[in-house]
Amino acid sequence: MKKLALFSVVLFLFGLVPAANAGFLIVNSYQDFIDACPTCKYDRLVENFEDTTLVPGLTINSTYPNAVIEDGVYKDLIDDGQGYNTTFSYTPPLYGFGGWFDLANPGGPGSNIKVTVDGNTVGEIPNTFIGNFWGFFTDDNSTFTDVLFSEGTGSGIQETYWSVDLALCATKPVPIPTAVLLLGSGLIGYVGIRRRKFMK
């Protein structure tokens, strides 16, 4: 009896241990972004930078002092040496983020742009992009609110880039937490054993 109770407690505590960091699925076309996001069909948003009013919930925080929205694009600069980086934030949380990026303008390609979520590197936007689409999803439907752009590998030269449009995929309801499932299965097992014991 004591062993069974201890086993149930261990199962419950095991369920409270945080899951491993999410992996990421990178997509290189908007069609792939749409195809990977069937459950957020009605929550998919696009910020086109046609004016300085961003879609509700989206904020952009650049440490580069001359970042600006003009001419229908967001113009920014990434440089680790100068401490210039950019954080795109969205509330409610997302599980997909992407956009059309031009790393060749205005002064030619520099470094790639490293994309990070919660301290985990997602990948890099290539410095060869001239209006190409790049995006990602978490591969386990975990969510995030902040996407950090910083200087990636490549030429070692700071990257001045334009973001033509952004694509955002908002969160849908997530499955029942693992802890609840484990607790439930432990309790069911406990009840089953107790019932069998009394039936003898």
pTM: 0.74
Q: In what helix (H) or strand (E) does residue 121 lie, and over which residues does it extend? A: strand 120-125
Q: What 3-state class would DSSP assign to 135?
A: strand
Mean pLDDT of successive 10-residue stretches along the chain, which has 200 residues: 44 38 85 75 79 95 98 96 96 92 92 96 96 92 93 89 93 42 46 52
Residue 16 maps to a domain = no
Residue 188 maps to a domain = no
Residue 183 maps to a domain = no
Host domain of residue 132? 22-175
pLDDT at 36: 77
Burial call 8-34: b when 16+ CB within 10 Å, e when fewer? beebbeebeeeeeebebebbeebebbb
CA atoms of 23 and 150, how far apart (whole Å): 19
pLDDT at 67: 98
pLDDT at 33: 87
Nearest to 12 by CA among 181, 195, 199: 181
pLDDT at 170: 80
pLDDT at 71: 94
pLDDT at 34: 83
Domain count within the chain: 1
Residue 13 maps to a domain = no
Residue 186 maps to a domain = no
pLDDT at 176: 38
pLDDT at 141: 79
- Please report, for the domain that includes residue 43, its CATH number: 2.60.120.430
Residue 184 maps to a domain = no
Residue 119 maps to a domain = yes
CA atoms of 115 and 109, how far apart (whole Å): 17
